[in-house]
Protein backbone atom coordinates (compact mmCIF):
# COMPACT_ATOMS: atom_id res chain seq x y z
CA UNK A 1 0.00 0.00 0.00
CA UNK A 2 1.56 3.25 -1.15
CA UNK A 3 0.43 6.61 0.19
CA UNK A 4 1.05 9.87 -1.66
CA UNK A 5 1.19 13.20 0.17
CA UNK A 6 1.26 16.17 -2.17
CA UNK A 7 2.10 19.70 -1.08
CA UNK A 8 1.05 22.31 -3.66
CA UNK A 9 3.35 25.34 -3.50
CA UNK A 10 3.51 28.79 -5.01
CA UNK A 11 6.34 31.03 -3.83
CA UNK A 12 6.73 29.30 -0.49
CA UNK A 13 10.47 29.66 0.19
CA UNK A 14 9.80 30.69 3.80
CA UNK A 15 7.60 27.69 4.66
CA UNK A 16 8.67 24.82 2.43
CA UNK A 17 11.65 23.45 4.32
CA UNK A 18 9.94 23.46 7.73
CA UNK A 19 6.84 21.75 6.32
CA UNK A 20 8.75 19.07 4.43
CA UNK A 21 11.00 18.26 7.37
CA UNK A 22 8.03 18.07 9.72
CA UNK A 23 6.13 15.84 7.35
CA UNK A 24 9.01 13.48 6.70
CA UNK A 25 9.55 13.15 10.42
CA UNK A 26 5.83 12.44 10.81
CA UNK A 27 6.08 9.75 8.12
CA UNK A 28 9.15 8.24 9.81
CA UNK A 29 7.17 7.97 13.05
CA UNK A 30 4.36 5.98 11.42
CA UNK A 31 4.08 2.26 11.77
CA UNK A 32 2.38 -0.06 9.31
CA UNK A 33 3.10 -1.68 5.99
CA UNK A 34 3.02 1.56 4.04
CA UNK A 35 5.29 3.03 1.43
CA UNK A 36 5.18 6.83 1.30
CA UNK A 37 5.91 9.48 -1.28
CA UNK A 38 5.97 13.19 -0.53
CA UNK A 39 5.60 15.32 -3.64
CA UNK A 40 6.23 19.06 -3.76
CA UNK A 41 4.05 20.32 -6.64
CA UNK A 42 5.16 23.68 -7.97
CA UNK A 43 3.82 25.61 -10.94
CA UNK A 44 4.79 29.20 -11.16
CA UNK A 45 7.07 29.96 -8.23
CA UNK A 46 9.54 32.73 -8.97
CA UNK A 47 11.32 32.80 -5.60
CA UNK A 48 13.73 30.18 -4.19
CA UNK A 49 10.99 27.51 -3.90
CA UNK A 50 12.30 25.56 -6.91
CA UNK A 51 15.90 25.46 -5.64
CA UNK A 52 14.74 24.48 -2.16
CA UNK A 53 12.39 21.83 -3.53
CA UNK A 54 15.21 20.23 -5.53
CA UNK A 55 17.51 20.38 -2.54
CA UNK A 56 14.95 18.71 -0.28
CA UNK A 57 14.31 16.02 -2.90
CA UNK A 58 18.06 15.38 -3.04
CA UNK A 59 18.46 15.00 0.70
CA UNK A 60 15.27 13.21 1.80
CA UNK A 61 14.56 9.85 0.12
CA UNK A 62 10.76 9.99 0.12
CA UNK A 63 10.61 13.54 -1.28
CA UNK A 64 10.15 14.45 -4.96
CA UNK A 65 9.95 17.91 -6.47
CA UNK A 66 7.90 18.41 -9.64
CA UNK A 67 7.29 21.56 -11.62
CA UNK A 68 4.89 22.31 -14.49
CA UNK A 69 4.26 25.26 -16.72
CA UNK A 70 0.45 25.06 -16.47
CA UNK A 71 -0.69 27.39 -13.68
CA UNK A 72 -3.17 26.81 -10.86
CA UNK A 73 -3.30 24.88 -7.63
CA UNK A 74 -5.92 22.43 -8.91
CA UNK A 75 -3.86 21.77 -12.02
CA UNK A 76 -0.82 20.92 -9.90
CA UNK A 77 -2.78 18.49 -7.73
CA UNK A 78 -4.51 16.79 -10.67
CA UNK A 79 -1.24 16.31 -12.53
CA UNK A 80 0.62 14.82 -9.60
CA UNK A 81 -2.22 12.53 -8.60
CA UNK A 82 -2.96 11.28 -12.11
CA UNK A 83 0.71 10.40 -12.59
CA UNK A 84 1.10 8.73 -9.19
CA UNK A 85 1.13 4.96 -8.73
CA UNK A 86 0.06 5.33 -5.06
CA UNK A 87 -3.08 3.57 -3.81
CA UNK A 88 -4.03 6.52 -1.62
CA UNK A 89 -3.67 10.18 -2.62
CA UNK A 90 -3.62 13.08 -0.20
CA UNK A 91 -2.72 16.73 -0.04
CA UNK A 92 -2.21 19.43 2.51
CA UNK A 93 -1.22 23.08 2.42
CA UNK A 94 2.42 23.94 2.99
CA UNK A 95 1.61 26.15 5.99
CA UNK A 96 0.36 23.02 7.81
CA UNK A 97 -2.67 24.96 8.99
CA UNK A 98 -4.32 21.59 9.41
CA UNK A 99 -3.04 19.71 12.44
CA UNK A 100 -1.09 16.56 11.51
CA UNK A 101 -2.67 14.89 14.54
CA UNK A 102 -5.86 14.71 12.46
CA UNK A 103 -4.20 13.12 9.44
CA UNK A 104 -4.67 9.47 10.58
CA UNK A 105 -8.40 10.09 10.98
CA UNK A 106 -8.57 11.08 7.30
CA UNK A 107 -6.26 8.32 6.07
CA UNK A 108 -7.88 5.47 7.96
CA UNK A 109 -11.29 5.38 6.21
CA UNK A 110 -9.70 5.49 2.76
CA UNK A 111 -6.91 3.02 3.54
CA UNK A 112 -9.44 0.60 5.05
CA UNK A 113 -11.84 1.04 2.13
CA UNK A 114 -14.68 2.45 4.27
CA UNK A 115 -14.66 5.67 2.25
CA UNK A 116 -13.49 6.75 -1.18
CA UNK A 117 -12.70 10.29 -0.11
CA UNK A 118 -11.99 11.80 3.31
CA UNK A 119 -11.93 15.56 3.79
CA UNK A 120 -10.91 17.77 6.67
CA UNK A 121 -13.64 20.12 7.83
CA UNK A 122 -13.41 23.43 9.65
CA UNK A 123 -17.17 23.82 9.77
CA UNK A 124 -18.56 20.60 11.23
CA UNK A 125 -19.18 20.32 14.94
CA UNK A 126 -16.03 19.32 16.78
CA UNK A 127 -13.76 21.34 14.51
CA UNK A 128 -11.41 23.83 16.17
CA UNK A 129 -10.80 26.63 13.72
CA UNK A 130 -8.72 29.72 14.32
CA UNK A 131 -8.94 32.20 11.46
CA UNK A 132 -9.80 35.81 10.83
CA UNK A 133 -13.43 36.90 10.78
CA UNK A 134 -13.52 37.81 7.09
CA UNK A 135 -12.26 34.37 5.94
CA UNK A 136 -14.65 32.68 8.37
CA UNK A 137 -17.62 34.59 6.93
CA UNK A 138 -16.56 34.04 3.30
CA UNK A 139 -16.11 30.32 3.95
CA UNK A 140 -19.53 29.96 5.61
CA UNK A 141 -21.36 31.96 2.95
CA UNK A 142 -19.64 30.07 0.13
CA UNK A 143 -20.43 26.65 1.58
CA UNK A 144 -24.01 27.70 2.29
CA UNK A 145 -24.32 28.74 -1.35
CA UNK A 146 -23.10 25.30 -2.46
CA UNK A 147 -25.70 23.68 -0.22
CA UNK A 148 -28.45 25.84 -1.71
CA UNK A 149 -27.45 25.32 -5.32
CA UNK A 150 -26.41 21.66 -5.23
CA UNK A 151 -28.20 20.34 -2.11
CA UNK A 152 -24.82 18.99 -1.07
CA UNK A 153 -24.35 17.72 2.46
CA UNK A 154 -20.65 18.50 2.42
CA UNK A 155 -20.02 21.30 4.88
CA UNK A 156 -16.50 22.46 4.05
CA UNK A 157 -15.54 21.79 0.46
CA UNK A 158 -12.50 24.09 0.33
CA UNK A 159 -10.38 22.83 3.23
CA UNK A 160 -6.80 22.17 2.15
CA UNK A 161 -6.64 18.70 3.67
CA UNK A 162 -8.02 15.81 1.60
CA UNK A 163 -7.49 12.09 1.01
CA UNK A 164 -8.73 10.06 -2.00
CA UNK A 165 -8.48 6.47 -3.12
CA UNK A 166 -6.58 6.05 -6.38
CA UNK A 167 -9.74 4.64 -7.96
CA UNK A 168 -11.73 7.75 -7.06
CA UNK A 169 -8.90 9.96 -8.28
CA UNK A 170 -8.55 8.20 -11.64
CA UNK A 171 -12.31 8.38 -12.24
CA UNK A 172 -12.99 11.89 -11.00
CA UNK A 173 -9.92 14.00 -11.78
CA UNK A 174 -10.34 13.94 -15.58
CA UNK A 175 -13.84 15.34 -15.10
CA UNK A 176 -12.69 18.35 -13.08
CA UNK A 177 -12.37 21.28 -15.44
CA UNK A 178 -11.33 23.96 -12.96
CA UNK A 179 -7.56 24.31 -12.53
CA UNK A 180 -7.56 26.81 -9.65
CA UNK A 181 -9.42 27.10 -6.36
CA UNK A 182 -12.86 25.82 -7.45
CA UNK A 183 -11.14 22.48 -8.19
CA UNK A 184 -11.89 21.15 -4.67
CA UNK A 185 -15.60 21.95 -4.88
CA UNK A 186 -15.92 20.54 -8.39
CA UNK A 187 -14.17 17.34 -7.39
CA UNK A 188 -16.37 16.80 -4.34
CA UNK A 189 -19.66 17.75 -5.98
CA UNK A 190 -18.94 15.32 -8.82
CA UNK A 191 -17.95 12.64 -6.33
CA UNK A 192 -21.06 13.05 -4.23
CA UNK A 193 -23.34 13.08 -7.23
CA UNK A 194 -21.78 9.97 -8.71
CA UNK A 195 -22.04 7.93 -5.57
CA UNK A 196 -18.51 7.98 -4.22
CA UNK A 197 -18.49 7.76 -0.43
CA UNK A 198 -17.27 11.04 1.08
CA UNK A 199 -16.31 11.17 4.75
CA UNK A 200 -16.04 14.60 6.36
CA UNK A 201 -14.07 14.84 9.56
CA UNK A 202 -13.75 17.83 11.92
CA UNK A 203 -10.16 19.02 12.25
CA UNK A 204 -8.01 21.51 14.11
CA UNK A 205 -7.04 24.40 11.83
CA UNK A 206 -4.90 27.43 12.60
CA UNK A 207 -4.83 29.90 9.74
CA UNK A 208 -1.53 31.28 8.52
CA UNK A 209 -2.24 34.87 7.47
CA UNK A 210 0.36 34.70 4.66
CA UNK A 211 -2.00 33.65 1.85
CA UNK A 212 -1.79 33.19 -1.95
CA UNK A 213 -5.56 33.68 -2.30
CA UNK A 214 -6.76 36.84 -4.07
CA UNK A 215 -10.09 36.87 -2.24
CA UNK A 216 -12.26 38.93 -4.66
CA UNK A 217 -10.96 37.24 -7.81
CA UNK A 218 -11.28 33.78 -6.28
CA UNK A 219 -14.84 34.50 -5.09
CA UNK A 220 -15.82 35.58 -8.61
CA UNK A 221 -14.17 32.52 -10.23
CA UNK A 222 -15.94 30.27 -7.75
CA UNK A 223 -19.30 31.81 -8.66
CA UNK A 224 -18.51 31.18 -12.35
CA UNK A 225 -17.59 27.60 -11.44
CA UNK A 226 -20.87 27.10 -9.60
CA UNK A 227 -22.82 28.38 -12.61
CA UNK A 228 -20.93 26.11 -15.04
CA UNK A 229 -21.31 23.01 -12.87
CA UNK A 230 -24.99 23.68 -12.19
CA UNK A 231 -25.64 23.79 -15.93
CA UNK A 232 -23.68 20.61 -16.51
CA UNK A 233 -25.56 18.75 -13.77
CA UNK A 234 -28.89 20.03 -15.07
CA UNK A 235 -28.08 18.60 -18.50
CA UNK A 236 -26.89 15.24 -17.20
CA UNK A 237 -29.23 12.35 -16.42
CA UNK A 238 -27.89 11.55 -12.96
CA UNK A 239 -30.47 10.79 -10.24
CA UNK A 240 -31.03 13.64 -7.80
CA UNK A 241 -28.97 13.68 -4.63
CA UNK A 242 -32.05 13.25 -2.44
CA UNK A 243 -32.45 9.75 -3.86
CA UNK A 244 -28.84 8.67 -3.54
CA UNK A 245 -27.59 10.26 -0.33
CA UNK A 246 -27.27 8.31 2.88
CA UNK A 247 -25.59 9.49 6.05
CA UNK A 248 -23.10 7.03 7.51
CA UNK A 249 -21.02 7.03 10.67
CA UNK A 250 -21.16 9.88 13.11
CA UNK A 251 -22.77 13.30 12.70
CA UNK A 252 -19.67 14.67 11.10
CA UNK A 253 -19.65 12.21 8.26
CA UNK A 254 -21.28 12.30 4.91
CA UNK A 255 -21.77 9.10 3.01
CA UNK A 256 -23.20 8.39 -0.36
CA UNK A 257 -24.45 5.01 -1.41
CA UNK A 258 -22.45 3.62 -4.31
CA UNK A 259 -24.35 4.55 -7.42
CA UNK A 260 -23.81 5.29 -11.07
CA UNK A 261 -20.16 6.29 -11.52
CA UNK A 262 -20.37 6.82 -15.24
CA UNK A 263 -21.79 10.28 -15.69
CB of 212 to ligand GDP, least distance (A): 3
76 binds ligand GDP (CB under 6 A): yes
8 binds ligand GDP (CB under 6 A): yes
By C-alpha distance, which of 92, 96, 98, 115 is closest to 202?
Answer: 98
Nearer to Mg ion, 59 or 130 (CB): 130
Which of 43, 124, 190, 222 lies at the binding interface for ligand GDP (CB under 6 A)? 43
Which of 3, 5, 9, 189 lies at the binding interface for ligand GDP (CB under 6 A)? 9
d(CA 258, CA 230): 22
156 binds ligand GDP (CB under 6 A): no
12 binds Mg ion (CB under 5 A): no
Site for ligand GDP in 193-212 (CB under 6 A): 211-212
Which of 44, 109, 195, 225 lies at the binding interface for ligand GDP (CB under 6 A)? 44
CB of 158 to Mg ion, least distance (A): 11
Residue 74 dihedral angles phi and psi, to the nearest 5°: -65, -40
Q: What crossing angle do the helices spanning 215-235 and 133-150 adopt, rounded to 10°? A: 10
Which of 52, 56, 65, 93 lies at the binding interface for ligand GDP (CB under 6 A)? 93
Report the partner that residue 9 touches, choosing among Mg ion, ligand GDP, none (CB closer than 5 to 8 A by kind): ligand GDP
- Helix/strand/coil (H/E/C) assignment for every residue in 42-67: ECCCCCCHHHHHHHHHHHCCCEEEEE
Query: The dihedral of CA 262, 248, 187, 68: what is its sign?
Result: negative
Report the partner that residue 192 touches, choosing among Mg ion, ligand GDP, none (CB closer than 5 to 8 A by kind): none
CB of 61 to ligand GDP, least distance (A): 22
By C-alpha distance, which of 128, 80, 89 is closest to 107?
Answer: 89
Site for Mg ion in 176-215 (CB under 5 A): 208
184 binds ligand GDP (CB under 6 A): no
Report the partner that residue 217 touches, choosing among ligand GDP, Mg ion, none (CB closer than 5 to 8 A by kind): none
CB of 158 to ligand GDP, least distance (A): 7
95 binds Mg ion (CB under 5 A): yes
Report the partner that residue 41 touches, choosing among Mg ion, ligand GDP, none (CB closer than 5 to 8 A by kind): ligand GDP
Query: The dihedral of CA 191, 170, 179, 230: what is its sign?
Result: negative
According to DSSP, the residues that pair with 117 across neighbouring strands are 164, 198
10 binds ligand GDP (CB under 6 A): yes
Residues contributing to the site for Mg ion (CB under 5 A):
93, 95, 208
Residues contributing to the site for ligand GDP (CB under 6 A):
8-10, 12, 41-44, 71-73, 76, 93-95, 97, 160, 211-213
Amino acid sequence: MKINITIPVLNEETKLSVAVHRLSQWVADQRGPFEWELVIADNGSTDRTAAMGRELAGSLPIVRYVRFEERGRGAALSRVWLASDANVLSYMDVDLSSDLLDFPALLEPVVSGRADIAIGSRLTSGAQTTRCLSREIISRVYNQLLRLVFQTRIQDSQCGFKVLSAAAGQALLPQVKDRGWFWDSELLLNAERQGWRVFEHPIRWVENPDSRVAVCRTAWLNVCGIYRLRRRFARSKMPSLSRTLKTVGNNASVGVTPGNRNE
